[in-house]
Structure 1
């Protein structure tokens, strides 16, 4: 309440141009730049929420195999999460200087490469795995604030709130589903692509982290 009390009210001219709610939503759904930006944000949340959900489990399993406790592994995941805050700051500042699209593309490609690599690294030295996890977390969140800023750049102020509500529904909806889908993919990989060797059990593109035994 104290923070909200210091906010300035809308200018009278802007207030009189406010959209009816249904019309604002309809126009937003028909606004190609706004919906493209919202879809990009949904894809971003799909990856980020899955990473946040599965990183502690992966680090706990890797730490257990490296002679550390499960709690210490979760602590490493927490450290990676703290490092990611710098990614959001750097990404937002970089987008002001180099443009929204280049920063979003660079961060997305970097986190995509990390995504394809990280699950196969359970047997690397734990310090290297923790460092790579921190780098992955940083890249995955680097474009988060940029998506929000880019949407504000292309949507008229009179229906910006409606546009952000659509973006939030799409983004957090995707983020709510993705950890469950990643878990299904892990189970499916375990049952269809079981192979011994390579320092552990590998299942196609999804490694078995031993979570069924640890959690069951």
Structure 2
């Protein structure tokens, strides 16, 4: 198996920590007596620390290399999740240890994308980034199922122990995949004197705005869609295994398909046009995910699947587009700033979702919170498209 494909398999296991809390959340709220705002606050702690981990790791990649940074954070992630399983039994302890889980999960995310970019040709960036994200989505799917089933079968700690095993296997496979990979540190390349190569261009700025909006929508939906589906399914006669499978496949099978399909399409069609469509579709999908709760189980599952497809689908396209618009030797720093702002701002989406949910007891109003991100992402892509057309006319 080629090293890159082995790395993709490794990312499946390494991603088990990201959705473990969301999968176990319905049981955690009952065990720890948490209201929606408190649960959203813990998820916000994860997202903020995740953003810090993304920023730090991305910055370090320009100096130490993506390979070394990825491997260090992958091993640390296994230890952090084990600590959460062992010691987190209340709101305060969970919030504290969740910081470590977020830091280590975020620390492995951007280096994995940078490795996908470096290990592929420029004309295949969309496919390669899409594939590494698809592997992560499969890991999210498995962790969501394992954590929701494990929590329902026994308790929340048991669910997190199971997910820890996946992260440990992922770290070992990652070390195997990269054992013979020789990475060139691009900071050693002499700097070019072209000022344009060193400036934060309009294209990069608009892509940054789009990524922040994308993160807002994605993190809000990821944190609460499993709970929404659990709410819809609670009156059905499904056992915990079936319920866990339905939730996991609805949320993350769609994500697996979207990152690979949309990322590959962006290699053949204009990336900006793809971003316009996906932003608009994500906003509409978010709204209907909330509205469909009152329509019945099948409607909710269907719109959750479609909404998740459109919300996640532009992730790989945004990463490929930023790689097309910034110099390679500065890619780590730019992606670090992007990750810090995107996940930092997006971290408050689950919290605001919970606040709106507590105040209104309305799923559709709560889902309007992440839906705003899709609207802003679409507008940013439209402005970028107009600037591209203006540039072509001047040329």
TM-score (norm 2): 0.43
1:17 matched residue in structure 2: 190
Answer yes or no: is the 8 Å Cα contact 1:110–1:139 preserved in 2. Answer: yes
Change (3 A) 1:7 1:60: same
Deviation of residue 71 (structure 1)? 6.6
Count matched residues.
Answer: 187
Please tell me whether the aligned partners of residues 60 and 70 of structure 1 are also in contact (alpha carbons under 8 angstroms): no
Partner residue in 1 for 2:347? 176
Change (3 A) 1:9 1:35: same
Over alpha carbons, which structure has the higher Rg? 1
Which of residues 293, 300, 306 is equivalent to 1:129? 300
Question: Following the alignment from structure 2 to structure 1, what is the Cα–Cα distance between the partners of residues 305 and 268?
Answer: 25
> 2:264 is matched with which residue?
93
Question: What residue ranges of structure 1 are gaps of 5+ in the alignment?
Answer: 20-26, 191-201, 208-216
| TM alignment of 1:185-200, pairs within 5 A | 185-190=356-361
2:234 to 40, 64, 68: 64
User: What CA deviation, in whole Å up to 9, does each residue of 1:139-179 have, x standing for no partner?
Assistant: 11111100000000000112111111111111221332211
Residue 189 of structure 1 and its aligned partner are, at CA, apart by 2.4
Deviation at 1:118, TM superposition (A): 1.3
**Cα deviation, residue 73, structure 1:** 4.1
User: Would the aligned equivalents of 1:18 and 1:159 in 2 still touch at CA under 8 Å?
Assistant: no
In structure 2, which of residues 218, 241, 246 is the aligned counterpart of residue 48 of structure 1?
218
Distance in 2, matches of 1:82 and 1:57, equals 17
Cα-Cα RMSD: 2.6
1:178-205 deviations in Å (ceiling 9; x for gaps)? 1111111222324xxxxxxxxxxx5883
User: Which TM-score applies when normalising by structure 1?
Assistant: 0.75
Give the C-alpha shift of residue 91 in structure 1: 0.8
1:42–1:174 Cα contact (<8 Å) kept: yes
In terms of fraction of residues, the more helix-rich structure is: 2
Three-state SS of the structure 1 residue aligned to 2:182 is coil
**CA–CA distance in structure 1, aligned partners of residues 190 and 177 of structure 2:** 26
Question: Which residue in the other structure is 2:287 paired with?
Answer: 116
**Deviation for aligned residue 1:67:** 4.8
> Unaligned regions of 5+ residues in structure 2, if any?
1-174, 193-197, 368-395
Does the CA-based 8 Å contact 2:217-2:349 persist in structure 1?
yes
* Kept in 1: contact 2:258–2:313 (CA 8 A): yes
| Higher deviation after alignment, 42-51 or 117-126 | 117-126
The answer for the alignment partner of 2:166 in structure 1 is none
Between the aligned partners of 1:57 and 1:70, the Cα distance in structure 2 is 14
* Contact map agreement 1:45 1:171 (CA 8 A) in 2: yes
Q: Is the 8 A contact 2:293 2:300 kept in 1?
A: yes
